[in-house]
Structure 1
Amino acid sequence: MDRKRILITGAAGFLGSHLCDRAIKEGFHVIAMDNLITGDLKNIEHLFNLEQFEFYHHDITKFIHISGKLDYILHFASPASPIDYLKIPIQTLKVGAHGTHNCLGLAKAKGARILVASTSEVYGDPLVHPQTEEYWGNVNPVGPRGVYDEAKRFMESITMAYNRFHGVQTRIIRIFNTYGPRMRLNDGRALPAFIGQALRGEDLTVFGDGSQTRSFCYVDDLVEGIYRLLMSEYDMPVNIGNPAEITLKEFAEEVIKLTGTSQKIVYKPLPVDDPKQRQPDITKAKEILGWEPKVARAEGLKITYEYFKNLPQEEWVKQPKEFVSMK
């Protein structure tokens, strides 16, 4: 069988591993790549015995070599949580810049279609609500979060340059808050942080007064949107997320109710440049891709909580990885 071949960078991460599963299901030969700085082989070990799956431990900020034909690239290599990108800011910028450049060069050389994973962070702390793809954002380039926000903004710019100047088939997804099994409990994002605290019997920490909003999309819905965008003929950015907006205080209360714990909510100062509002306008996704989320938050949260609850208890208290400095 002559399978289509797809390279997935960041393949051992939360989203990358789910994309590997989907690509296998769709009949692709999957070439998975990850340097394992934030990824974990446990997320993809169930695929290692498959003939149509191969894994390369490689840092994509260095030259990428793939022998033979290549039909598609899903570029999802990047630290994605504040704990990660504040601890490894240089690597975060490098994977957004050099890593994306290398992936685009590979797509050009192979004649492959490439989809790059941008995020809602390109909108910064938005002055427009909900956020449409036409909004240019409100980003502080020299703040601590700038290493992630600007890496994604550069990624979009160089992707469109390769599209316009070299004729590379490119797709850009802007991902809003996503959750589900295989997230790390210690990655600093609201959902795993709240559930981790609940499992450990700790009070739930809300930063600021809890009035800031997020919009949570279940991972299966996101993967469906990514696949539809990859297979579409649309080359401008598309928001993929769940527009059901909720304040972080309300969300913490939902987690307390879900876990049946008796903890209270404690408040700490809001981090610098933390966005006050997050809600995607998904009009384009509906019209162009025929996509909208299907999994209600209550359903997705229950599945995710069961996943975390069934992890070994040492995972509940595991601290974030230490990173080696890369100059």
Structure 2
Amino acid sequence: MQKVVVTGGLGFIGSHVVDALLAAGRQVTVIDSMVAAVTDGREYEVFPGCQVHRVSIADYLAQGGSFKDQDLVVHAASHVGPAGILKYQGSLGADIVAVTQQVIEECVTHDVALISFSSAEVYGRSGMLAESDDIIVPTHYNARLEYAIAKTLTEAATINSRHRGLRGFVIRPFNVVGPRQSRAGGFVMPTFVQQAIAGRPLTVFAGGGQERAFLSATDLARFITEHAGAAFESDRPIFNIGNPLNTITVWNLAERIIERLGSTSSIEHADARLIHGPLYEEAESIQKLPVLDAAKAVGWAPTITLDELIDETALYYRVRDDAREAAAVPLDAGARV
């Protein structure tokens, strides 16, 4: 698979996938609407085998673009983040589904393999979560549920399109973090790291007892560059990609970041709705941990530790600003509970 299209390739996950593909010598076509971009992509244009299109997928196809003669599409384009999705509530699900359906149709038409990104949010419950587990749909409607239902529908569309000849599978990533991730989406790691560097209080929501298993974006991208072939051959439809060895509560993560960075910051309980607005909701899953049987079966395992993730994220933000700073709430926004 030498010729690869990456949708959302200038976003956080997408850009790490592009990095890995270019390092592996692939020819890459990047398509990104720039809505949630964390890089402008100029660093990619120096590669002779890379093209960057700063348009939506719909506009790319409408303007004569095509997936014809490509070997693989990695579909990472989506609205993301517990805070980043809020302003799209009501149209969020339709947008996600419509874009993914366009990608699927183009892949079916031109016989191009597809890796489609979903989300661990689809499980709708707490615990150790495996691909074969039932998906729970809570009855409390909010933006996060709209997002989860939309991602579930894109999974079904991808998998059900196999009967039309689509070669495709789905990735469910668990709490991917690393350099370039913006706090603008409401993501906890870049928020805590940037607050600690600035000496601001680290703002913890909902008590901080939520357990998360943090995965390096580099480990995720390596699944695609080194194990996609085996994943296609396995004929498995869905792969959890995460790192249960990096499991930690949100409160303990705040403590670990302060310790690793030697920060003078304090930790404060905060009301997320006073920071991100009244539509903000916590995830249904207090404990969100991946079972990795499918990924292990094709030879993949995560390698980057939590401390390494904290250190490399801090190293990045000590010398760079958040690329989406204008869309983020101030570092010192918060209210004691």
TM-score normalised by structure 1 residue count: 0.89
Q: Distance in 1 between matches of 2:171 and 2:103?
A: 16
Q: Secondary structure at the match of 2:311?
A: helix
Amino acid at match of 1:194: F
Name the residue aligned to 2:292. Answer: 282
Kindly report which structure 2 residues correspond to 1:119-158, keeping only aligned pairs within 5 A, or say none. Answer: 119-126=119-126, 129-140=127-138, 142-158=141-157
Q: Assess, with a 3 A threshold, how the Cα gap between structure 1 residues 124 and 319 changes in structure 2: closer, same or farther.
A: farther
State the identity as a percent. Answer: 26
Aligned residues: 313
Q: Secondary structure at the match of 1:74?
A: strand
Amino acid at match of 2:249: T
Q: Secondary structure at the match of 2:6?
A: strand
Name the residue aligned to 2:325. Answer: 318
Once the two structures are overlaid, the 10-residue window that deviates more, 241-250 or 272-281, is: 272-281
Instruction: String of CA shifts for 1:100-131, please: whole Å, max 9, x gaps.
Output: 101011111111100000111111233xx210
Kindly report which structure 2 residues correspond to 1:1-327, keeping only aligned pairs within 5 A, or say none. Answer: 4-42=2-40, 44-61=41-58, 64=61, 65-66=65-66, 68-89=68-89, 92-126=92-126, 129-140=127-138, 142-164=141-163, 166-231=164-229, 232=231, 233=233, 234-244=235-245, 245-269=247-271, 272-274=281-283, 275-287=285-297, 289-312=298-321, 315=322, 318-320=325-327
Q: Distance in 1 between matches of 2:3 and 2:60?
A: 19
Q: Secondary structure at the match of 2:155?
A: helix
Q: Distance in 1 between matches of 2:52 and 2:221?
A: 20
Instruction: String of CA shifts for 1:122-148, please: whole Å, max 9, x gaps.
Output: 11233xx21011122333362231221
Amino acid at match of 1:267: H
Cα offset, 1:212, TM superposition: 1.0
Q: Distance in 2 between matches of 1:145 and 1:252?
A: 24
Q: Distance in 2 between matches of 1:35 and 1:28?
A: 22
Where structure 2 has 5 or more consecutive residues not aligned to the other structure, the ranges are 273-279, 330-337
Q: Distance in 1 between matches of 2:42 and 2:98?
A: 28
| Kept in 1: contact 2:128–2:291 (CA 8 A) | yes
TM-score normalised by structure 2 residue count: 0.86
Instruction: String of CA shifts for 1:221-279, please: whole Å, max 9, x gaps.
Output: 11112334532223411100001211111111001112212222111347534221111
| Superposed CA RMSD | 2.2
Where structure 1 has 5 or more consecutive residues not aligned to the other structure, the ranges are 323-327
| Kept in 1: contact 2:213–2:242 (CA 8 A) | yes
Cα offset, 1:58, TM superposition: 2.1
